[in-house]
Amino acid sequence: MLCTVLPIHRAWIHSTLSMHSSSSFSLQSDPSGSGTVGVNYGRLGNDLPSPPQVVQLLKAQGITKVKLYDTDSTVLSALSGSGISVVVALPNVQLSSAAASQSFTDSWIQSNILPYHPNTLIEAIAVGNEVFADPQNTTPFLVPAMKNVYASLVKYDVASSIKVTSPVALSALQTSYPSSSGSFKSDLIEPVITPMLNFLKQTGSYLMVNAYPFFAYSANTDKISLDYALLRNNAGNVDPNNGLVYKSLFDAQIDAVFAAMKALGFNDVKIVVSETGWPSKGDENEVGASEANAAAYNGNLVRRVLTGGGTPLRPNEPLNVYLFALFNENEKPGPTSERNYGLFYPNEQKVYNIPLTAEALAGSPNMMNGSKSQVEAQPPSSVGQTWCVANAGAGEEKLQQALDYACGEGGADCHAIQPGATCYDPNTVEAHASYAFNSYYQRNARGAGPAISPALPMSSLNLPSVFVNFIYHMS
């Protein structure tokens, strides 16, 4: 198969942060072994559709998983028989009771799990949410509560199918830069982090992590580039301790958690990103909050996850991510951004017209079929289409400069020619330049059609004139 750029279809998904009640849905993973992308379903709004309507919406979109931040009976009942997998939650306010008595967790499981499972496919219980950041100081109750919940699952013979975990905020880290120096806060390690990681390891579960590059970028625009935060092509950052190159703040944040776990001897515990997102609107001081940036972040993240590959520190471990949120929620407290993270408006219309499944992404530029040894960054032998390829005669140095421009300022979608991605091979400047130039052309000038000369220099499309590359019209 040829690895070329078809007319651009952006896979933009809007995700969001929640400090309050929410739920999450996941897109089905690509059969090639890539990860999954979930979308949190928050319900802090007075104009949201009913749970049965929401389930129908999710099914219509091809969404196959849901993560709740409670055990609302109307939601769990609506999900029964839907084929959608579910993560439920025991809220922070119940942690002290759950920690104090297995009788409490027995009763909780009897009331909130057994009446629904397995017709409602409950796959995990999130015990608390960002407990270390809870002003009510529920941290001491977390691990005992997790252990009691698990013991109750064992008692009722459902522990083999339901995991126990807990979402952790990045504020639990003492150090996050560089990623290889990631470490947990010293006052949390002995009383809660180490016992929790040991529990997760022993039970075969995973750590949930809430990661928001938006917050880091918004507070450090003088140090963090927007492209780095939005997973767009950029020069990247090299970790001075191990030489790994980071092309996104998201990867750097997740690897900081991996490094922190490794430092405590838990290199084999997996991570699920339980919340991540970028607001489409914010207050004046919320730098970077915009529809375009939200679309770029979530779209690039979805594409990255569904096309496979892990982080630089864990390159072979698929990413599993939940974006927040399903809807814009008009009753969420806090800044404007908190009410503007939704994939859908409450009337069930998309905030962005984007594909939400691996199947929908299959026709996009970054979902090409074929093995890496088979792909080439050249135009296909099709008719009636206009394509752009690099002019090898321009020389490797000039092609590299033009490639950098196209993937940077030019806005070309260059994810597929990054190391390990589907179009990385053949690893030559000419092949990569052809891919990038064609992406740039399809994005910026394809609408000109036959009026564009087959020998038109890319300078007419705003590339520097010395970087001459040709557009071929095949008919």
The residues that are catalytic are 130, 275
Q: Are 475 and 454 in contact (CB under 8 A)?
A: no
Q: What is the Cα–Cα distance from 345 to 341, expressed in whole angstroms?
A: 10
Q: Are 192 and 255 in contact (CB under 8 A)?
A: no
